[in-house]
Copies of this chain bind each other. A is one copy, B any other.
Amino acid sequence: MFMRIDHIGIACNDLEEKIALFSGLFELTVVAREVNEEQGVKEAMLHIADGEGGGSYIQLLEPLDADSPVGKFLARRGEGVHHVAFGVPDVAGAMEQIGAKGVRLLDKHPRHGSMGSSIAFLHPKDVGGMLTELVQAARP
């Protein structure tokens, strides 16, 4: 079901500062910047590797406002890993298969993720405390 670790989503207070930090420390290149109003974040994807069905990235997330999910996470936990995303060939199929095993889906239908992907989140309490995202990358 999982083809790759798609990305590590890291919540931060200042996107530009953290882009400079991560790209400088680890020689990573920013391949996309986006504002996702629906999720209340502005974000950047730093490319690590290519894999089956898509790439692997560090995703840096700055909340658009304090009431957004990432804003609340920062207030509660501070900067750090917010979620982990895994690449799947078919996000709708994966949601159905995982949902049938009793995991609560935070999305009823796939929604828009970074770089044209289709994504869905799983409830962290049903996945060992890890906020888990399924990612079907956009077709090249």
Rounded to whole angstroms, the CA-CA distance of A8 and B18 in the bound complex is 20
Counted per complex, copies of this chain come to 2
One digit per residue, 1 when the CB lies within 8 angstroms of any chain B CB and 0 when it does not, for chain A 6-22 equals: 00101110000010011
Interface of A is mostly: mixed
Q: Which residues of B contact A2 (CB under 8 A)?
A: 26-28, 48-49
Question: Does chain B have a CB within 8 A of A31?
Answer: no
A105, chain B: closest CB distance, angstroms: 12
Q: Are A8 and B129 in contact (CB under 8 A)?
A: no
Closest A-B pairs by Cβ, 3 of them = A80-B129, A79-B129, A5-B5
**Chain A interfacial positions (CB closer than 8 Å to B):** 1-5, 8, 10-12, 18, 21-22, 24-28, 48-49, 51-52, 56, 60, 77-81, 84, 86, 98, 101, 103, 124, 127-130
For this complex, 24 residue pairs linking A to B, each with C-beta atoms less than 8 Å apart, are A1-B26, A1-B27, A2-B27, A2-B28, A2-B48, A4-B49, A4-B51, A5-B49, A5-B56, A8-B8, A8-B84, A8-B130, A10-B128, A10-B130, A12-B128, A21-B127, A24-B101, A25-B103, A51-B51, A56-B56, A77-B77, A80-B124, A80-B129, A81-B129
